[in-house]
């Protein structure tokens, strides 16, 4: 268990034992094909993408799914959990940062910055910080694949309170960063007969150029 002190309970939750248990539950390669389908749809209206960073990569299944879609792109990932970080790093083709999204700082820009199932677990009071970091890190595109709800709501998560939140993340992002435009959006249904992957709604946005 990490003895690092984090600014929110949610960060500590994912950096330690529960995050380790999540890795065990979500390591199946069966997830890769549905992730490829989701990501291929989500980035289909992008122009050339030479670099990508994922905020909250876990063990890197999204990176594995992206690699054949963007074989020439440089892939990077930010991951808070030390065990997951080592697994992403071991892939050998992902530049990996072992830190909290809320602490990540870089002067670099990536063509695409994205999250998948990560913003829903961030302390709502700190979401503006994450939005700002995503905006700052992006050269052009921001992609959010999250659980959508038109108004903020909390859902009990595996017996835990204040660990899963639904809201209009993309709408809040665009309201906070004027000039960002919605490029495309879509929905992935957990009952899809071929590519089931939870009820994720994705939003692709573009910064003013």
* Alpha carbons 33 and 37: distance in angstroms, whole number: 6
Asked if residue 69 belongs to a domain, the reply is yes
pLDDT tens digit sequence for 41-87: 999 999 999 999 999 999 999 999 999 999 999 999 999 999 999 99
> CB-based burial of residue 82 (10 Å sphere; 0-12 exposed, 13-18 middle, 19+ buried)?
middle
Separation CA 116–CA 85 (nearest Å):
16
Query: What is the rounded average pLDDT of the residues 132-136?
Result: 98
Q: Which of 141, 133, 142, 138 is nearest to 104 (CA)?
A: 133
Domain residues for 165? 9-206
What 3-state class would DSSP assign to 178?
A: coil
The 8-class DSSP code of residue 73 comes to S
Instruction: Confirm whether 1 is domain-assigned.
Output: no
- pLDDT in the model for residue 122: 94
CA distance 60 to 64: 6
Residue 168 in any domain: the answer is yes
Asked whether residue 177 is domain-assigned, the answer is yes
pLDDT at 1: 43
Q: Read off the pTM.
A: 0.93
Q: Which of 67, 29, 45 is nearest to 186 (CA)?
A: 45
Q: Is residue 3 part of a domain?
A: no
Query: Helix/strand/coil (H, E, C) string of 81-112?
Result: CHHHHHHHHCCCCEEEECCCCCCCCCCCCEEE
Predicted local confidence at residue 30, as pLDDT: 84
Closest CA to 79 of 11, 134, 147: 11
Dihedral sign for Cα 59, 23, 122, 34, please: positive
Partners of residue 200 on adjacent β-strands? 188
- pLDDT top residue among 2 and 168: 168
Mean pLDDT of 102-119: 97
Residues 124 and 102: beta-carbon distance below 8 Å = no
Are 134 and 142 in contact by the 8 Å Cβ rule? The answer is yes
Q: Report the pLDDT value the prediction gives residue 9, as an integer from 0 to 100.
A: 79
Work out the pLDDT band at 90, boundaries 50, 70, 90: very high
d(CA 152, CA 157): 15
Overall number of domains in the chain:
1
Task: Categorize the per-residue pLDDT at 19 as very low, low, confident or very high, splitting at 50, 70 and 90.
Answer: low
Q: Is residue 81 part of a domain?
A: yes
Residue 187 lies in a domain: yes
pLDDT above 90 covers what percent of the chain? 78
Q: Which one-letter DSSP state was computed for residue 44?
A: T
Q: Is residue 114 part of a domain?
A: yes
Instruction: Answer with the residue of higher pLDDT: 127 or 159.
Output: 127
Find the CATH number of the domain harbouring 113. 3.40.50.150
């Amino acid at each position: 268990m990490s003895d690092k002190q984090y600014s929110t309970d949610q960060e500590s939750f994912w950096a330690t034992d529960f995050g380790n248990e999540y890795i065990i539950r979500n390591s199946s390669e069966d997830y890769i094909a549905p992730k490829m389908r989701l990501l291929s749809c989500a980035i289909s209206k992008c122009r050339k993408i030479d670099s990508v960073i994922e905020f909250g990569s876990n063990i890197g299944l999204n990176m594995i799914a992206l690699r054949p879609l963007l074989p020439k792109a440089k892939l990077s990932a930010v991951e808070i959990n030390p065990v997951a970080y080592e697994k992403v790093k071991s892939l050998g083709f992902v530049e990996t940062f072992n830190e909290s999204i809320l602490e990540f700082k870089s002067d670099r820009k990536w063509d695409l910055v994205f999250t998948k199932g990560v913003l829903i677990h961030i302390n709502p009071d700190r979401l503006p910080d994450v939005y700002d970091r995503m905006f700052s890190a992006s050269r052009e595109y921001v992609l959010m694949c999250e659980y959508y709800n038109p108004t903020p709501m909390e859902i009990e998560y595996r017996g835990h309170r204040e660990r899963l939140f639904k809201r209009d993340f993309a709408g809040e992002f665009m309201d906070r960063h004027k000039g960002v435009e919605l490029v495309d959006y879509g929905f992935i249904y957990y009952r899809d007969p071929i590519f089931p992957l939870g009820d994720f709604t994705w939003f692709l946005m573009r910064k003013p150029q």
